[in-house]
């Protein structure tokens, strides 16, 4: 049985993991386990950083066009030369969801863009090309590859550009997004 990326994210939330869930619903943003941060002057309806246990991920609305600039405004540029893109195809996200953003290789990003099943999403995150689904495109060790995968989407908040972020309380999130 194949599950979709959205179902995978739901399973992660049910297990209390939440990260890096490929898509978050608005109700997830008012969970006591997370903190929401505005990116610069951008609208909360467009993009935001979700923090959990001191780690942050950039999430953008599926229709938000300036997602690359939003990501670059806060994330360290340690993986330049890679695409900034959505963890799951934005065409598969609900209109009111937020989709995780990250840096991935061009070959991997272009190859897995349309897959919405969990295997395709995992291959995209693991930086594996479509033509070689069981072989990695790099010569990194498993530990190095694992860290590269994690830091592609998920970074310690201390590594983010905190000058571009402002904390948004749960009541303001509810008011701005109609969440929860």
Residue 137 clears pLDDT 80, i.e. is over it: no
Higher pLDDT among residues 164 and 15, named by residue: 164
Query: Residue 52 is encoded by which pair of tokens?
Result: 């959990």
Question: At residue 4, what are phi and psi to the nearest 5 degrees?
Answer: -85, 165
Look up residue 105 and give its DSSP letter: -
Q: Is 30 exposed, middle or buried (0-12, 13-18, 19+ CB in 10 A)?
A: middle
Range from 14-18, 67-71, 148-152 that averages highest in pLDDT: 67-71
Instruction: Tell whether 179 is covered by a domain.
Output: no
pLDDT digits (tens, 9 = 90+) for 20-65: 677 888 888 988 889 999 999 999 999 999 998 888 999 999 999 9
Instruction: Tell whether 23 is covered by a domain.
Output: yes
Q: Is 102 exposed, middle or buried (0-12, 13-18, 19+ CB in 10 A)?
A: buried
Count of the separate structural domains present in the chain = 1
Instruction: Tell whether 180 is covered by a domain.
Output: no
pLDDT digits (tens, 9 = 90+) for 62-113: 999 999 999 999 987 765 567 888 877 777 777 788 988 988 766 656 655 5
Instruction: Tell whether 178 is covered by a domain.
Output: no
Instruction: Tell whether 125 is covered by a domain.
Output: yes
- % helix, strand, coil for the chain, step of 5: 35, 20, 40
Domain holding 120, by residue range, is 5-173
Instruction: Tell whether 113 is covered by a domain.
Output: yes
């Amino acid at each position: 049985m194949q599950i979709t990326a959205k179902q995978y994210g739901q399973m992660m939330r049910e297990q209390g993991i939440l990260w890096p869930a490929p898509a978050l619903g608005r109700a997830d943003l008012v969970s006591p386990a997370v903190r929401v941060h505005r990116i610069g002057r951008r609208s909360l309806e467009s993009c935001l950083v979700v923090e959990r246990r001191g780690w942050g991920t950039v999430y953008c609305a599926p229709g938000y066009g300036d997602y690359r600039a939003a990501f670059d405004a806060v994330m360290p540029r340690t993986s330049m030369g890679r695409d900034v893109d959505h963890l799951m195809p934005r065409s598969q996200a609900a209109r009111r969801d937020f989709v995780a953003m990250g840096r991935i290789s061009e070959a991997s990003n272009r190859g897995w863009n349309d897959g919405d099943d969990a295997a395709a999403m995992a291959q995209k995150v693991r930086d594996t090309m479509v033509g070689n689904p069981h072989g990695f495109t790099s010569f990194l060790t498993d530990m190095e590859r694992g860290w590269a995968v994690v830091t592609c989407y998920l970074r310690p908040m201390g590594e983010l550009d905190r000058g571009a972020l402002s904390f948004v309380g749960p009541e303001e999130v509810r008011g701005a997004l109609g969440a929860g």
